[in-house]
Amino acid sequence: MNAAPTTAIGAHNAKIMNRFELTQRLVGHLKREEAVIGGIGNANFDLWASGPRAQNFYMLGSMGLAIPIAVGVAIAQPRRCVIALEGDGSLLMQLGCLATVAERNLKNLTIVIWDNGIYQITGSQPTASAESADLVAIARGAGIAESAWAADEEDFDRLIASALEGGGPRFIAARIDDKPAVGTTERDPVQIRERFMRGLGARSNRTG
Ligand SMILES: Cc1ncc(C[n+]2csc(CCOP(=O)(O)OP(=O)(O)O)c2C)c(N)n1
């Protein structure tokens, strides 16, 4: 059993950090071909900008699907660590997936939520997490016991390192600023899917 990553930090006393910086920190921890599923928009833009990895999947177009896709990968490849990166607005659209994650008790799954309190990419309309909803409390209520706010960058590092040792499912939420994403993912879903499947060893390298 790994040391519990629980912190006493609540939704509104965690440090406000930067998504690109934290994404780079996260990618720096990846040594074992972990799968990373970036949610729509900024979550996958900053993952893309953090460097090419064949085990990255970039969700284009639909909110709230990073976690459901990660669940499928985690079930299909239980020995691989799988990380879902999702925005607060996208998670709020698909909260039911948290109960599924807890119920399936996926040891190899980590969820990272970038909580900027806005639907940034469509014009920064406020989300419910800006004022009222505490996403970590929701995850705990759904049954994911190992759910925590990252207090600051060092705490985020610690939570990620611990999550990559297994003992999931883990839910890590970070409060982030409203700086735009650093890059823009290529918009070629077939390429993205094929590269990801090869990266997971689920497709051979032959073409066609
Ligand atoms: C089902 C669905 N509804 C609405 C949209 C339009 N849309 C795309 S991204 C987005 C906001 C995403 O917000 P969040 O997940 O918090 O990420 P942020 O933009 O803040 O990084 C919206 C409303 C969509 N693509 N799919």
List pLDDT tens digits, range 144-170: 999 999 999 999 999 999 999 989 999
pLDDT of residue 10: 76
Percent of the chain past pLDDT 90, that is, above it, reads: 88
- Listed in sequence order, the residues at least 6 apart from 7 whose beta carbon sits closer than 8 Å to its beta carbon are 148, 149, 150, 151, 155, 159
pLDDT of residue 11: 77
Residue nearest to atom 4 of ligand 1 (CA): 63
Measuring from each residue's beta carbon to the nearest atom of ligand 1, which residues come in under 6 Å? 40-42, 61-63, 87-90, 116, 118-122, 127
Residue nearest to atom 3 of ligand 1 (CA): 63
Residue nearest to atom 12 of ligand 1 (CA): 119
102 CA to middle of ligand 1, Å? 24
pLDDT of residue 12: 75
Q: Within its chain, how far is the Cα of 178 from the centroid? A: 17
pLDDT of residue 13: 84
Mutate to test the pocket of ligand 1, among 16, 17, 19, 40 (most ligand atoms within 8 A of CB): 40
pLDDT of residue 53: 97
- Listed in sequence order, the residues at least 6 apart from 208 whose beta carbon sits closer than 8 Å to its beta carbon are none
Rg of the chain over CA atoms, in angstroms? 16
- What residue ranges of the chain have pLDDT lower than 70? 1-9, 205-208
Going from the C-alpha of 11 to that of each of 7, 48, 87, 121, 147, the distances in angstroms are 11, 27, 15, 22, 12
Which atom number of ligand 1 is nearest to the Cα of residue 42? 21
Question: What is the C-alpha end-to-end distance of the chain, expressed in Å?
Answer: 44
Which atom number of ligand 1 is nearest to the Cα of residue 43? 21
167 CA to middle of ligand 1, Å? 30
CA distance linking residue 147 with residue 155, whole number of Å: 13
**pTM (predicted TM-score):** 0.95
pLDDT of residue 208: 46
pLDDT of residue 200: 97
